């Protein structure tokens, strides 16, 4: 990814993140989270993680944030904007951020700085040798494309089959839990 | 080309933003959104490492992206349950302001 795109998407993401805590109105905060996640998806796609980028848009901004907006509008939160802001939490939050940032700079200045390894045609063609001759992955790799979704599916259903099924059970449990929680308790 | 440290710096900043939001906001829904920001910052770190430390065959390391996939799915389940808890809380107390939820205070 060209450098200016990286900084563009990072700026969108960080401004969105800062706007989440700056806005008093919860709906504006939720829309800022959407902005932040769109920038983040751009960064994912710039890292050649196309599947994760699309999932970020579909699941996070498409489903999760709409659920947030739905709940915000379901609960009537009009008095939120009238509250006076106390100083102590703001100072604590800013102090935490500054401490975290100083530590981050200290670590990053000492850690080795890598540049992205090449993902060009020779690398992809060499990787194709590890897959069966006429499989879709090998054909795409030989054409110089990165078959991101196929590779993720391959990894998911070979190495991560059991965690995937456990995840299915988790989603089922969450669904049942939400139904139980949202049932109106008998008075 | 952006280097690995650029990605780590940006994701660290996003994490710090989420952490600040959890500390200084009092609306429990905003706190919950900031938790999502922190999870996403961790995801960005994972994807950056998967790209910058390729697997033995030269492709990005897909084990890292598997973890991102699982984190996103678990976060979606967490949001569903958490929002149901917030709605139940609002029904019981008529507030989602964390300063007013002091039943457990001694």
Name the residue ranges covered by the structural domains of chain A. 1-76, 120-187
- pLDDT tens for A6-48 read 999 999 999 999 999 998 888 999 999 999 999 999 999 999 9
Distance (Å, rounded) from C-alpha B22 to C-alpha B38?
Answer: 10
Question: How many other CB atoms are there within 10 angstroms of residue A43's CB atom?
Answer: 27
The residue among B18, B34, B62 with the most chain A CBs within 10 A of its CB, best to mutate, is B62
What's the pTM?
A: 0.91
Mean pLDDT by 10 residues, chain B (106 residues): 88 93 89 94 94 87 93 93 91 83 79
Backbone angles phi, psi at B97, to 5 degrees: -90, 120
- Cβ of B10 and A10 within 8 Å? yes
| DSSP assigned state of A114 | -
- Cβ of B19 and A96 within 8 Å? yes
CB nearest to B80's CB, from A80, A130, A174: A174
- pLDDT tens for A157-169 read 999 999 999 999 9
Residues of chain B positioned with their CB less than 8 A from the CB of A174: 77-78, 80-81
End-to-end, the C-alpha distance of chain A in Å comes to: 59
**Helices and strands (H and E) in chain B: how many:** 3, 0
Q: Is the alpha carbon torsion for B23, A13, A65, B69 positive or negative? A: negative
| DSSP assigned state of B97 | B
Q: Is the separation of the CB atoms in B84 and A182 below 8 Å?
A: yes
Domain A1-76 bears CATH identifier 2.40.10.10: no
Q: Is the predicted ipTM greater than 0.85, yes or no?
A: yes
Q: Is the alpha carbon torsion for A42, A59, B43, B63 positive or negative? A: negative
Residue B74 at interface with chain A, using a CB cutoff of 8 Å: yes
| A97 to A18, A94, A137, B18: CA distances (angstroms) | 12, 5, 44, 9
List the single residue in B with minimal CA-CA distance to A123. B58
User: DSSP letters along A78-99, please?
Assistant: GGGGGPPPPHHHHHHHHHHHHH
Distance (Å, rounded) from C-alpha A120 to C-alpha A59?
Answer: 30
Structure tokens at B24: 């200084």
Distance (Å, rounded) from C-alpha A15 to C-alpha A9?
Answer: 10
- The full set of domains in chain B, from first to last, is 4-100 (1.10.287.3510)
| DSSP assigned state of B103 | T
């Amino acid at each position: 990814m060209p450098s200016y795109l990286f900084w563009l998407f990072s700026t969108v993401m960080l401004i969105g993140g800062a706007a989440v805590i700056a806005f008093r109105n919860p709906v504006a905060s939720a829309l800022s989270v959407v902005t932040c996640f769109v920038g983040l998806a751009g960064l994912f796609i710039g890292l050649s993680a196309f599947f994760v980028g699309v999932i970020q848009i579909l699941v996070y901004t498409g489903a999760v944030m709409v659920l947030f907006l739905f709940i915000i509008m379901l609960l009537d939160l009009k008095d939120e904007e009238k509250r006076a802001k106390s100083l102590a939490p703001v100072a604590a939050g800013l102090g935490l951020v500054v401490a975290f940032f100083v530590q981050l700079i200290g670590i990053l200045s000492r850690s080795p700085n890598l540049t992205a390894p090449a993902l060009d045609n020779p690398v992809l063609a060499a990787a194709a040798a590890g897959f069966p001759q006429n499989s879709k992955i090998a054909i795409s790799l030989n054409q110089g494309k990165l078959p991101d979704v196929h590779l993720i599916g391959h990894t998911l259903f070979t190495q991560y089959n059991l965690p995937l099924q456990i995840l299915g059970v988790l989603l089922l449990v969450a669904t049942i839990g939400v139904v139980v929680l949202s049932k109106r308790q008998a008075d | 080309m952006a280097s690995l440290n650029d990605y780590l710096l940006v994701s660290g900043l996003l994490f710090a933003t989420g952490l600040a939001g959890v500390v200084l906001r009092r609306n429990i829904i905003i706190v919950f959104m900031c938790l999502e920001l922190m999870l996403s910052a961790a995801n960005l770190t994972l994807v950056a490492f998967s790209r910058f430390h390729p697997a033995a065959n030269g492709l990005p390391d897909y084990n890292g992206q598997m973890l991102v996939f699982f984190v996103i799915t678990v976060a979606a389940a967490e949001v569903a349950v958490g929002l149901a808890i917030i709605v139940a809380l609002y029904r019981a107390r008529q507030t989602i302001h964390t300063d007013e939820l002091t039943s457990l205070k001694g």
